[in-house]
Amino acid sequence: MKILVINGPNLNLLGVREPDVYGSETLADIENWLNEQPEADGHYITWFQSNHEGEIVDQLHSTIKEVDGIVINPGAFTHYSYAIRDALTAIDVPTVEVHLSNIYQREEFRKISVIKDVCIGQYFGKGKNSYLEAFRLLIR
């Protein structure tokens, strides 16, 4: 399978950013770790990170007929980006939403995900394992 992993705003600062919430590993550490998991064997995985909503929308559009599945951590866009939600609906590629932290046990505004309904699954609160669970769901 060809799988695209998309990370949204501020996730480029993992390792530095609120380590008590997000851990001490960088995004590159998580990427390397996931790529080395036995589940990743034989699959073609690409990673994309952007702090810009429009760039994420463009990246989603570019997946049409190119990618079999998407893992997305939209960061704060999770909670209000109808543009990302609409792009996911438009491209119709199986997508799994992930979060490092447990968005349901934090501030009220984080409890709302506007993309949840257009994804085939949602994993949260498991740190980097949220990505692995999402990956497993896609290849299953």
Which residue, 59 or 78, is less far from ligand DQA as judged by CB? 78
Active-site residues, by number, are 22, 99
Beta strands in 66-125 (DSSP E): 69-73, 95-98, 121-123
How many CA atoms lie less than 13 Å away from 76 in the CB half-sphere? 7
69 or 75: CB nearest ligand DQA: 75
Interface contacts to ligand DQA, rule CB under 6 A: 10, 73, 75-76, 78, 99-101, 103, 110
Q: Is 62 or 105 the residue whose CB approaches ligand DQA more closely? A: 105
Nearest distance from C-beta of residue 42 to ligand DQA, angstroms: 27
Which amino acid belongs to residue 92?
D
**What is the distance between the alpha carbons of residues 140 and 83, in angstroms, rounded to a whole number?**
28
